[in-house]
Structure 1
């Protein structure tokens, strides 16, 4: 990281043109459309189902934490539903025509929750920390060669090659800004403020009662007074599906997001006049469900075994029977929600148990005693709901072709440690976010350089392909949309052929909310935004 006096730019970057789409007027605030006059006060109780291991996503991508991290630690930008960037901690920005310089004017008068002033030094430190420690940040900021502080509230990023997705990667949940004075000189992934956050956001962390809830209180010194409108935010972890439904129906919980709600309860919940269902606000995440293979396993290292498993599983059965139609079957790693990069022109593994049996024989694993070829374990990311049910179905399907498969369940933190630190798994059934761009959301899962034991939600398969790496790295810096799409199609064909993971379904995403909760979803980030505008109507 280098620091220059205000106004001193690297010589090769002096001349640049402004990207019209990337300029915001100083002091402008997000142009969202609100309802009636906001009401001050009240407590919002939210259920996110799974308890995350951290509360700030500076060095982690724990799924449910996306709804928490942003409430305390804001990013530079926020986004409309169409991904138009809006000011947050940055008030102005300019992008050079060649895509190699990003300039930001930062908001003045902002303080961290401990009273310390927010400055460009915090932004520079945070971006470097994300680049070095965040599972996706390695790819997101890979081309950032220099982070230059130009003044107390002015900063520039200089890139070696274009990163066409970068301006969309600066949301609070994806690229949070942390206080340099509390993180500098520490091991970022182990910093105690990852579980007791200090940020600039509208809510101040108060306590985390493990296994139960996190309590936040209104930030009285928030930079956008009179926001936030809520006095308190209570985030609960009700993982049991029946209890989660009961909490909604009794009004114990006013908003549920990312929760394993039984699909059999949907009709009744949707008929409740006090409740609403919101399906917008998930285009920043675009989650899918996949079965990741541990390629260090002697059986799964064989491509024919992986192909046999793919033929043994009926994804349409998972959609119709487990999700009751609230999901889309997948043939590749890109969600249909990521329409600009989606292709269905890929190799297919249609449900064909006989073909699975033949491939297992060819691989040299005939049926033995009791008809068993070999044994595997499958670990669902959550111990209840659709993940567990899908794992149980997959185990049954594999047992039918001679692979004795055992379902192991554990809490989320144990799952993460088992798969990414201990590497004590065979098949991990997990949800993964494509996010808003494949370089940010998908590359981490297949890029050989992102095999980092101990770093969650990275290349857990330990997959390494020179051709896949080439395609991913070329697409990451390709500014031409058509050429970039073609590179990502070739990438999809390559990984579907190699099959380090079997992509299963793209579940429908939704927020269930009491209709008194206003402004919970205002843009592409959904409830993953900072929540400053949420209020409770009478």
Structure 2
């Protein structure tokens, strides 16, 4: 359906218009950093895709508020064989897709088979999956060639997600998504909005997953690439919620009568993703030179401005997480240009530009990149900064000919193997025999304490081989209208329980 709307955008103003007489009375407007480039969450690891699609696409499992895996489209947790290789998963009955058809085991099998072929996280374990079959109208069985302890966590994640589609639409590319979620997509106006409306035949999940109350009639996700524009729209009352705001605006939002800040403490970690497939960074000495040259304190201060918004911390998980350890962190925050120059000499560096791919839609990425460029040039690098919009960055990072480092970030995830960069199948292509052996032991081990010890080995290997470069920890600033309730703070906020005081 196409609606007529006249909308204006500038650095200071972003006006979003109602869609005529069909506009919902109970509508939540959410400002996000950009337009999703796909509505097929299987093929994307971008948060902007996950935030939108989780409202209309669903997985077999999800997470509760304590990040424990609970059933969603499955009716219970799986029955797992003693050797850890067979997962029998019962399915909920009476679940409708948005096209009116009923979900059954054939839909789930077809979807999971596609997931292991096209999704980065599915591909990472595809060689361990011996088969996925329907063992009843409301039951599937996944057979593995060897144990894989984080399987249910992987099936629960909304990013590179194992979502369930009707069998009839399964194809290498899906442009018109049909899901089971509490909302369905009504309209998408590129670079203007994505409109979701309530799915009246939605079947509520069990108690463990929590009620998805479908309180708003309509949810609109509005791409607003400029951080300042998201902030001004929130403060003016134009947006009910705004994602990824600059820390400098925290005080203004806090003092507002209209809006209030949402602070997610120890939210995640900014990182420099390393190209292990082609280019300069395939040389270990070059990687170590970058690792030695970067001034993490200065980069974090430039990006976040106040120590209440960041921590200079090399552990891949902060204190308080079960995965926290300090293996390898002596190689974190070296900040020594002379040491970096020694590594460059050992590599025979000839001045070839180090290409850093970044974007200003996440302004803190760009601010870190500026400080990094100065430090790397001081160490002897020639640096080429390629600053593009986020959609172009997401496209270019899939081509290893175009970059040496790209800047990104990740929330802290409940299971380390959800970090796709650890796998050789990821776009970065980090692979070496020692790391692969550690990772294989880690994913096969089911004992929690043993897994923690193996993860420490993996962190040590990441630092020694410079698999990726963690910059530190940061706290995320989001913002919401003071009249909006029912939204639980999260890296991927959901709005099916959101309501506004009139």
Classify the TM-score, shorter chain. Answer: 0.7 to 0.9
Contact 2:78 2:90 in 1 (8 A): no
User: Alignment partner for residue 486 of structure 2, among 507, 510, 519?
Assistant: 519
Deviations 1:36-76 (A, max 9, x none): xxxx9600000121323112312221221110111111122
Contact 1:140 1:439 in 2 (8 A): no
User: Alignment partner for residue 353 of structure 1, among 337, 342, 356?
Assistant: 337
CA distance in 1, matches of 2:168, 2:56: 15
CA distance in 1, matches of 2:397, 2:239: 32
Contact 1:51 1:412 in 2 (8 A): no
Q: In angstroms, what is the RMSD of aligned CA positions?
A: 2.6
Match of 2:501 in 1: 537
- 1:207 matches 2:198: no
- 1:314 matches 2:310: no
- 1:323 matches 2:307: no
CA distance in 1, matches of 2:212, 2:281: 57
- 1:136 matches 2:104: no
Do the aligned partners of residues 329 and 235 (structure 1) sit closer, same or farther apart at CA in structure 2, a change above 3 Å counting?
Answer: same
What is the DSSP-based 3-state SS (H/G/I as helix, E as strand, rest coil) of the residue aligned with 2:301? helix
Match of 1:102 in 2: 87
Deviations 1:145-181 (A, max 9, x none): 3323232222232333333222333336243433233
1:125 deviation in Å?
Answer: 1.6
CA distance in 2, matches of 1:422, 1:302: 15
Contact 1:52 1:412 in 2 (8 A): no
Contact 1:290 1:429 in 2 (8 A): yes
1:364 deviation in Å?
Answer: 2.8
Match of 1:113 in 2: 98
Contact 1:331 1:503 in 2 (8 A): yes
Do the aligned partners of residues 237 and 127 (structure 1) sit closer, same or farther apart at CA in structure 2, a change above 3 Å counting?
Answer: same
CA distance in 1, matches of 2:464, 2:383: 24
Match of 1:268 in 2: 252
CA distance in 2, matches of 1:343, 1:408: 34
Match of 1:216 in 2: 196
- 1:474 matches 2:441: yes
Contact 1:520 1:526 in 2 (8 A): no
Structure 1 unmatched runs, 5+ = 1-39, 367-372, 451-457
CA distance in 1, matches of 2:292, 2:151: 38
Match of 1:341 in 2: 323
1:306 deviation in Å?
Answer: 1.9
What is the DSSP-based 3-state SS (H/G/I as helix, E as strand, rest coil) of the residue aligned with 2:76? strand
Do the aligned partners of residues 176 and 375 (structure 1) sit closer, same or farther apart at CA in structure 2, a change above 3 Å counting?
Answer: closer
CA distance in 2, matches of 1:488, 1:307: 22
1:243 deviation in Å?
Answer: 0.7
What is the DSSP-based 3-state SS (H/G/I as helix, E as strand, rest coil) of the residue aligned with 1:304? helix
Contact 2:240 2:484 in 1 (8 A): yes
Report 1:59-458 matches (<5 A): 59-96=43-80, 98=82, 99-139=84-124, 143-171=128-156, 173-174=158-159, 175-184=161-170, 186-187=171-172, 190-193=173-176, 197-224=177-204, 227-257=213-243, 259=244, 261-279=245-263, 287-296=268-277, 299-324=280-305, 325=307, 326-331=309-314, 334-336=316-318, 339-346=321-328, 347-349=330-332, 350-365=334-349, 373-383=351-361, 385-421=363-399, 423-433=401-411, 435-441=413-419, 444-448=420-424, 450=425, 458=426
- 1:493 matches 2:457: no
Contact 2:42 2:118 in 1 (8 A): yes
Do the aligned partners of residues 296 and 105 (structure 1) sit closer, same or farther apart at CA in structure 2, a change above 3 Å counting?
Answer: closer
CA distance in 2, matches of 1:438, 1:54: 25
What is the DSSP-based 3-state SS (H/G/I as helix, E as strand, rest coil) of the residue aligned with 1:492? helix
What is the DSSP-based 3-state SS (H/G/I as helix, E as strand, rest coil) of the residue aligned with 1:71? coil
What is the DSSP-based 3-state SS (H/G/I as helix, E as strand, rest coil) of the residue aligned with 2:269? strand
Do the aligned partners of residues 118 and 341 (structure 1) sit closer, same or farther apart at CA in structure 2, a change above 3 Å counting?
Answer: same
What is the DSSP-based 3-state SS (H/G/I as helix, E as strand, rest coil) of the residue aligned with 1:136? helix
Contact 2:41 2:163 in 1 (8 A): no
Deviations 1:335-379 (A, max 9, x none): 32782222223142411122222332333347xxxxxx4422211
CA distance in 2, matches of 1:111, 1:124: 16
Contact 1:149 1:156 in 2 (8 A): yes
TM-score (norm 1): 0.80
CA distance in 1, matches of 2:184, 2:370: 41
Deviations 1:395-449 (A, max 9, x none): 11112222121221112221122221363112211224552212222xx32333x
| The 10-residue stretch of structure 1 (468-477 or 92-101) with the greater mean CA deviation from structure 2 | 92-101
CA distance in 2, matches of 1:205, 1:294: 36
| The 10-residue stretch of structure 1 (374-383 or 483-492) with the greater mean CA deviation from structure 2 | 374-383
Contact 1:122 1:179 in 2 (8 A): yes
What is the DSSP-based 3-state SS (H/G/I as helix, E as strand, rest coil) of the residue aligned with 2:75? strand
Match of 1:13 in 2: none
Contact 2:94 2:203 in 1 (8 A): yes
CA distance in 2, matches of 1:64, 1:341: 26
Give the paired residue count.
467
CA distance in 2, matches of 1:287, 1:57: 21
1:273 deviation in Å?
Answer: 4.4
CA distance in 2, matches of 1:82, 1:359: 44
